[in-house]
Structure 1
Amino acid sequence: MTGTADAGSHATRVVVHPSAGSVAEATAARLLLTLIDTLSVQARADVVLTGGTVGIATLAAVARSPLATDVDWTSVHVWWGDERFVPAGDADRNEGQAQEALLGALPLPEDNIHRMGASSAFATVEEAAAAYAADIEAAGTPAWDVLMLGMGPDGHVASLFPGHPGYEARDAEAIAVHSSPKPPPMRVSLTLESIRRARRVWVVAAGAAKADVVARSLHGDLELPAAAVRGTLETLWLVDAEAVAKV
């Protein structure tokens, strides 16, 4: 089932699947087809990944799909929307989960994987955020071809939390986040400004616990970071039936 909501220059599309598992499978197929189409008309594709239960399940579904062999992975660059500032190899890190679910199974050059800095490599979270911003600039400040976001039950996306200073950050690609409402307390996150440069923004959410904030976000409650994200070409909410029960 699909629906629409106002998103400024274009309509937000809401695509409803029966279950969290089907959200992951369908999003994986959508991502692979988008990459195939994108690389048929341009030399490179930049994709921003998300963590979370459905996000990692989506990556695992990509790895299983026969369509994965039709993508020229040497032309795909992988980024993250946020990362926990903990040591490399820590189970909390999104990039480690993504490596296990997908990246290790792909013929993806290591230089194409843009990992956010770990506390074992940087003295401060500010240094890690500055290094990621520099990496983005060195890559030509890409207009992300696909930027995937999970959403917390408080309406946060990436590590932009309601009422938190990072939500209001401007004039930066990546920021240091302190005192995160969700542990661990220090993180690196793309800013809303960076997210909204994406051509396609896909918010992936499932479960009854998300129903209130999905409804508030789709009705434009800008207290929630999830309500403020959009792509320049496409904004999709890829959700299960429980997550839209209150829309």
Structure 2
Amino acid sequence: MRQVRVYADADAVAESTAARLLLSISDALAVRGRADIVLTGGTVGIATLAAAAASPLVRTVDWTSVHVWWGDERFVAAGHADRNEGQAQEALLHSVPLPEDNIHRMGSTDKYATAEDAAQAYAADIAAAGTPQWDVLLLGLGPDAHVASLFPGHPVFTSSDAETHAVHDSPKPPSDRVSLGLPSINRAREVWVVAAGEGKAEAVADSLRRTGVPGGAVDGSERTLWLLDAAAATHI
């Protein structure tokens, strides 16, 4: 089931999504005793994590039972400014009592020779955790309607159904990345797509109309939630 929620601006999207995320984590913990969430980078994605860190609800979560994963990562050195996990660490993760073993980072060039090696290692990490059905999987949306590092027309999006992918020749730098595949994304109970700004409006419309772009190919098994600001919603 796809649902669309529209907010006044990007700040309102981040604050609302943060509150939803913290409540959803608490709900998952109450029902299953564990929560597996998949984070995204990007301006709104990281703003959402910062808003979560500032929310009073953050103190109600038993972080020792939360596992954090990523939808994609730039295959660069650990500590590089482009790394999604470093931005997430600064925005939220460093401020909550989350055990290090519960933070499932995608591999970097310091540890793996190739993006293929890093993708295979992440698939093994997922399998070792019992192939979780993600409770919430957050995605940003590019102006070309890409999600994670699945780009329109790219071979990884058009021809492969693996759990994880190495991505080369990304149209958005850096060119080498690691990404979850559609089967892994669509295994999530809930997929949330966050987007803000007029530059995303056409991509949002194309995705909601399922015109063959990556944003139109993602769906949670229970719910798909599009969280937009008014500018990004102008074409729907």
TM bracket (short chain):
over 0.9
The one-letter amino acid of 2:210's match is G
Deviations 1:97-143 (A, max 9, x none): 00000000010000000000001111111100000000000000001
Task: Report what 1:227 is aligned to.
Answer: 216
1:230-245 to 2 correspondences below 5 Å: 230-245=219-234
Q: Deviation at 1:172?
A: 2.1
SS in 1 for 2:165: strand
SS in 1 for 2:38: strand
The one-letter amino acid of 1:81's match is G
For the pair 1:139 / 2:129, whether they are aligned, the reply is yes
Task: Report what 1:164 is aligned to.
Answer: 154
The one-letter amino acid of 2:226's match is W
Greater shift, 75-84 or 167-176, is seen at 167-176
For the pair 1:33 / 2:23, whether they are aligned, the reply is yes
Contact map agreement 1:211 1:243 (CA 8 A) in 2? yes
Contact map agreement 2:161 2:182 (CA 8 A) in 1? no
For the pair 1:100 / 2:55, whether they are aligned, the reply is no
Contact map agreement 1:169 1:191 (CA 8 A) in 2? no
| Structure 1: distance between partners of 2:167 and 2:27 | 35
Task: Report what 1:109 is aligned to.
Answer: 99
Q: Deviation at 1:38?
A: 1.2
1:49-60 to 2 correspondences below 5 Å: 49-60=39-50
| Structure 2: distance between partners of 1:171 and 1:140 | 19
SS in 1 for 2:232: helix
Q: Deviation at 1:216?
A: 1.1
Q: Deviation at 1:187?
A: 0.1
Q: Deviation at 1:169?
A: 4.7
Q: Deviation at 1:219?
A: 1.1
Using the size of structure 2 for normalisation, the TM-score is 0.99
Contact map agreement 1:170 1:193 (CA 8 A) in 2? no
Task: Report what 1:3 is aligned to.
Answer: none
1:67-216 to 2 correspondences below 5 Å: 67-216=57-206
Contact map agreement 2:163 2:183 (CA 8 A) in 1? yes
The one-letter amino acid of 2:219's match is R
- For this pair of structures, how many residues does the alignment match? 236
1:15-30 to 2 correspondences below 5 Å: 15-30=5-20
| Structure 2: distance between partners of 1:104 and 1:59 | 11
Contact map agreement 1:129 1:174 (CA 8 A) in 2? yes
SS in 2 for 1:41: helix
Q: Which runs of 5 or more structure 2 residues have no equivalent in the other structure? A: none
Task: Report what 1:6 is aligned to.
Answer: none
SS in 1 for 2:220: coil
| Structure 2: distance between partners of 1:220 and 1:50 | 22
Q: Deviation at 1:171?
A: 4.4
| Structure 2: distance between partners of 1:169 and 1:231 | 21
SS in 1 for 2:32: coil
Task: Report what 1:63 is aligned to.
Answer: 53
Contact map agreement 1:59 1:102 (CA 8 A) in 2? yes
